[in-house]
């Protein structure tokens, strides 16, 4: 059910259950909210810009459709990218709804996730409270392939393993190249 359906059906807020968000105990809910808000703001601005550009590009590429021998590949590509950016903007709007007050998300720290992190020696060193407090401003990837394997097995999410490894590799590469979060990693 999406926000527009909730508004249309006039469902009171007290009948909606919050969505549980499971996280390790060493990660505080305030930092998670800050990261989600930053992600929402950055992605909204980026995808709005690209949606506008693609929306402008589609009518410009329409004259290519007049030529019957060549398909309008640029127009089709721009229309597809416009659709994708609009869908991403809708996702940012849903994330904004979830973050607008404390009633929509229920933060649940899980000791089981901590246990999986503690199995990896590299992450175990980084999770030491004195180490975390000393290097709070410095970005580090706390996830390794072993941790991903443990999380995937524990939560029975085997279909996400390759995507999680891909995301971990992209973040590691971004941090090693000293890139900003918005920069594209190849």
Whether 62 maps to a domain, the answer reads yes
Question: pTM score, two decimals?
Answer: 0.72
CA distance 82 to 115: 43
Name the β-bridge partners of 37. Answer: none
Report if residue 3 sits inside a domain: no
Question: What is the 8-class DSSP label of residue 108?
Answer: E
Residue 174 vs residue 130, higher pLDDT:
174
Report if residue 15 sits inside a domain.
no
pLDDT digits (tens, 9 = 90+) for 159-172: 999 999 999 999 88
Q: CA 174 from chain center: how many Å?
A: 16
Task: Give a yes or no: residue 4 inside a domain.
Answer: no
Structure-block tokens of residue 104: 């929509």
- Number of structural domains (the chain) is 2
Q: 102, 125, 157 — which closes off a domain?
A: 102
pLDDT over 70 (residue 142): yes
Per-residue pLDDT at 58 exceeds 50: yes
pLDDT tens-digit profile of 96-135? 988 887 788 999 998 888 888 888 766 666 666 534 444 4
Q: Are residues 113 and 176 in the same domain?
A: yes
Asked whether residue 75 is domain-assigned, the answer is yes
Looking at the structure, do residues 114 and 95 belong to the same domain, yes or no? no
Q: Domain range holding 116? A: 108-181
Rounded-to-integer distance, Cα 130 and Cα 125, Å: 10
- Work out the pLDDT band at 158, boundaries 50, 70, 90: very high
């Amino acid at each position: 059910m999406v926000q527009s359906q909730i508004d249309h059906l006039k469902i009171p807020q007290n009948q909606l259950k919050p969505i549980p968000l499971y996280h390790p105990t060493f990660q505080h809910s305030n930092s998670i909210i800050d990261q989600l808000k930053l992600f929402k703001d950055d992605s909204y601005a980026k995808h709005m810009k690209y949606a506008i550009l693609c929306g402008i590009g589609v009518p410009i590429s329409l004259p290519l459709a007049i030529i019957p021998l060549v398909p309008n590949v640029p127009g089709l590509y721009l229309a597809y990218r416009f659709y994708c950016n609009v869908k991403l903007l809708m996702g940012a709007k849903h994330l904004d709804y979830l973050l607008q007050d404390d009633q929509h998300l229920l933060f649940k720290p899980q000791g089981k996730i901590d246990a999986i992190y503690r199995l990896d020696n590299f992450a175990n060193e980084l999770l030491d409270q004195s180490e975390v407090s000393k290097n709070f401003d410095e970005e580090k990837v706390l996830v390794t392939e072993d941790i991903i394997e443990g999380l995937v097995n524990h939560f029975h999410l085997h279909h996400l393993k390759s995507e999680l490894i891909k995301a971990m590799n992209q973040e590691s590469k971004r941090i090693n190249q000293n890139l900003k979060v918005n920069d594209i990693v190849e």
